[in-house]
Structure 1
Amino acid sequence: MTDLRLVVFDCDGTLVDSQHVIFAALSHAFDGHGMTVPDLDAVRRVVGLGLVEAVETLVPHLDRAAHVTLAESYKNAFGLLRHDPLHAEPLFPGVREALATLADAGYLLGVATGKSRKGLAATLKMHDLTDMFVTLQTADDAPGKPHPGMLENAMRATGARPADTVMVGDTVFDIRMAGNAGTHALGVSWGYHPPHELTAAGARHVLAGYDGLSPWLETLWEPAA
């Protein structure tokens, strides 16, 4: 492969299964403020949004100051829980092999996530994946999904064009961000939003496993006959 190609991954629900530590941290935050903890399904629905936006979606009746306070409590709890072996963020099957295959083929790899830069750095370091990515875009760098800012930053940093960029994610927020940035959108079936919602949001395809990623990308950019 000689042309510049950029593949940008969401983190939570796409690279790592973080739903249990996210739910545990939210539970700590809500309990700490004497509030009813949202159920896991509701929490899964907001994974991928910026933190304050996620809290606002879960408890829309509160004011902005309360949303910010809850978000800070969540961040503090998450920082503590991530060191607890019971609250690990395991890689989904095939992640490491798929990333290595793409890197060997010459693809540029990036991340665009609602995590903070500190949180993303900790996750990638835990799994020894930091050096796999040439651009890391977080909630600290641009407005939250589905705003296109993180993808636009990634393309600007690497020199990739929208037509040469794919966003890989598990939520409609990832897919809509790709649409807003003019890039290709690829869903994954093992995350937090169901495949039919990803397709309806504009995903060109939904992967059943990471072993299908490289073949699909080759088809996407196959030279016209």
Structure 2
Amino acid sequence: MSQYQMIVFDWDGTLMDSTSHIVFCMREAIHKLQLSPLTDNAIFQIIGLGLPEAVRTLYPHSTDADIQRLAMAYREIWLDHPHESPMFDNAVELLHKLANQNIFLGVATGKGRRGLDKVLAATGLADLFTATRCADECHSKPHPQMLEELISFCGVEADATMMIGDTEFDLLMAHNAKAKSVAVTHGAHALERLQACEPLHIVDDLFALDDWLHGNNVRF
């Protein structure tokens, strides 16, 4: 049984069922700029990265100006098409349960600060998290900066920190920060891609995560 001092969650695709809206906004931005169309699956694969890194991955030969234009178009589409994505089943209940444990909670997300603050306010969950980090104030995942800053801010050990996410970027960030990781399969990346990162555990949903965290596997 391992003892943990902090659990850090990814947001989109892990706690909030928002990946389809992200794909919609990116697809509309691509269409607006008359770029070569991409499949929804291709866009799914970049969810979790910071916006500039996501654009560069989708269009590897883009100039910095091209990247900025598509990133700006995406943000405009996102603002013009407000969409209240639901939290995944048991997300809110699990977060409240964990907040009552002797443990820090954090968020490390590919969202920008404006976007994260907006959804935290809308869901009423902001007070549950000790600290949060976003891709527009740190290096994008899988660089460990977001997680390392949360670890330092909370004064905990890396090997007593658990990162929970739905993409290989989350799991590789945890590895790079020398933290543990758990994968959930209801988000952006396929099971095989998550397995290749060798997380501590893989769950299909947040009910299974709740059972695993509060079983005989984890001590707070």
Give the partner amino acid of 1:201.
C
* 1:184-217 deviations in Å (ceiling 9; x for gaps): 0100011111222212112111112212334433
Q: Secondary structure at the match of 1:201?
A: coil
- Distance verdict in 2 for CA 1:216–1:195, change over 3 Å: same
How far is 1:47 from its partner?
Answer: 0.1
1:222 and 1:99 map into 2 onto residues whose CA distance is 16
1:61 alignment partner in structure 2? 61
2:8 and 2:132 map into 1 onto residues whose CA distance is 9
1:203 alignment partner in structure 2? 199
Structure 1 residue ranges, 4+ long, deviating more than 2 angstroms after superposition: 211-223
CA contact (8 A) 1:101 1:214 kept: no
1:198 and 1:23 map into 2 onto residues whose CA distance is 20
Aligned length: 217
2:36 alignment partner in structure 1? 36
Residue 173 (structure 2) pairs with residue 174 (structure 1): no
CA contact (8 A) 2:50 2:136 kept: no
Give the share of equivalent positions with the same residue, in percent: 36
Give the partner amino acid of 1:138.
C
TM-score (norm 1): 0.90
Task: Structure 1: state its 5+ residue gaps.
Answer: none
TM-score (norm 2): 0.92
1:154 alignment partner in structure 2? 150
Structure 2 counterpart of 1:104, from 92, 100, 104: 100
- Distance verdict in 2 for CA 1:129–1:30, change over 3 Å: same
Task: Structure 2: state its 5+ residue gaps.
Answer: none
Give the partner amino acid of 2:206.
Y
Q: How does 1:206-225 map to 2 (within 5 A)?
A: 206-217=202-213, 219-222=216-219
Moved more, 132-141 or 173-182: 132-141
2:182 alignment partner in structure 1? 186
How far is 1:97 from its partner?
Answer: 0.7
Q: How does 1:129-168 map to 2 (within 5 A)?
A: 129-168=125-164
Q: Secondary structure at the match of 1:46?
A: coil
2:219 and 2:104 map into 1 onto residues whose CA distance is 17
Question: Alignment RMSD, CA only?
Answer: 1.7
1:145 and 1:29 map into 2 onto residues whose CA distance is 23
Higher RCO (CA-CA < 8 Å; seq separation 6+) = 2
